[in-house]
Amino acid sequence: MAVIKSLAFCNKNKLKNLKSFVDSELDLSVFHPFPVDCLHHFLPFGYKFLNESFVVIENKKITGLLTIKKTSEKKVKITRLLLEENSIEQGKLLINYVVTTFLSKGAESFYIIVNKENYPVLNMLTSGCNFRDTSKELIYKIEKDEFKTNKDEFNFEHIRKMKLNDINNVVKLINSNIFTYQKTTFHKTKSEIKNSFLKNSEKFVLFNKDKDGIIGYFSILKINEESFLLDFVLEGAYEGFLSDIIRFVKTILIKNGKFKTLYIRLNGYYSNFRELNEILDMEYRNSYESRILVRDFLVAKKQDYTYERMIFNDITPAF
């Protein structure tokens, strides 16, 4: 019989026998040590701030691992899902257990990003765990030697570091550029943007003096010493400023002697996704696509994006 436990109360060394964990080239340092993980496990959902991991055990052997991260007051992201070969049923059990558990604690939206070619996991999530294939994410990979050298100096007067008092305008910019039918799922809150200031990233805004407002926002996240991730959003009709953002980011990163790779993320739920996708495709060919799958219990009440809880009577039991 399969049993699900928090990794905080398991021998983490047993993960070394999970082939998908070994193949992922992860090590045990990615998990929080004892007693931090145990203490965090008992915190109310509203106070949780660290990643949490759960495992499914069958015949005293770990056959699956799932890690989640609270991204806002009500949203949870599944950041890691590793399953042993032929362990789809255990995967369903693990996911439905975590969703049910955290739904009871106050979470209302769960999402996971999966490579579009990972058909077994995509099918498991949609047919066995009630996730919806809602949108997509494109990642463009640019190596340092692909950066075109240009001796011309560019004027970046319309770009500056983001300040705390920009949060309201940035949230408004992001939410106004999400497809209307996807706002409920992908809307951002002030707390999400404010909390992101604690992350290992730099944040900037683009402004238009004539328009007297912010027309773009982007962040440069340091993945490791050699790799960085660019996230951005631009107001409709200002897609041409994407080239300025990339030039600006290149100018910053090229000064880092260890820098090797820049990843650019483009989310499919933005209303100007097609225009931005065309711009990036003209310049960069090395990209891959992932699907964004969501299971949520939110419905929009008003146009101002307030929400109410929906109660479902078909929540899959843990066991």
Residue 73: its pLDDT value, please? 86
Would residue 144 count as lying in a domain? yes
Quote the percentage of the chain above a pLDDT of 90.
63
Which residues, at least 6 apart from 129, have a Cβ–Cβ distance to it below 8 Å?
92, 95, 96, 99, 295, 316
Angle, in degrees to the nearest 10, between helices 273-283 and 242-253: 50
Shared-domain flag, residues 257 and 177 = yes
Give the number of residues written for the chain: 319
Q: How confident is the model at residue 299 (pLDDT cuts 50, 70, 90)?
A: low
Q: Supply the pTM of this predicted model.
A: 0.86
pLDDT at 37 over 50: yes
Q: Which residue has the tokens 């964990």?
A: 21
Lowest-confidence region among 44-48, 160-164, 232-236, 311-315: 311-315
**Distance (Å, whole) CA 62 – CA 58:** 6
Shared-domain flag, residues 164 and 287 = yes
Which residues, at least 6 apart from 8, have a Cβ–Cβ distance to it below 8 Å?
32, 34, 37, 38, 40, 41, 52, 53
Quick: pLDDT tens for 76-122. Answer: 999 999 999 888 999 999 999 999 999 999 999 999 999 999 999 99
Contact 131, 125 (CB under 8 A): yes
**Distance (Å, whole) CA 63 – CA 304:** 44
**CATH number of the domain residue 255 falls in:** 3.40.630.30
Which residues, at least 6 apart from 81, have a Cβ–Cβ distance to it below 8 Å?
64, 65, 66, 67, 91, 95, 112, 121
Other CB atoms within 10 Å distance of the CB of residue 103: 20
Q: Which residue segment(s) compose the domain that 196 sits in?
A: 140-293
pLDDT at 317 over 60: no
Would residue 116 count as lying in a domain? no
Would residue 135 count as lying in a domain? no
Quick: pLDDT tens for 242-266. Answer: 999 999 999 899 888 788 999 999 9
Residue 152: its pLDDT value, please? 56
Would residue 305 count as lying in a domain? no
Residue 184: its pLDDT value, please? 86
Q: Taking residues 113-135, report their average pLDDT.
A: 95
Burial (CB count <10 Å: 0-12, 13-18, 19+), residue 12: middle
Q: Taking residues 195-213, report their average pLDDT.
A: 80
Shared-domain flag, residues 24 and 148 = no
Would residue 25 count as lying in a domain? yes
Number of domains composing the chain: 2
Residue 55's φ and ψ, nearest 5 degrees, are -130, 150
pLDDT at 318 over 80: no
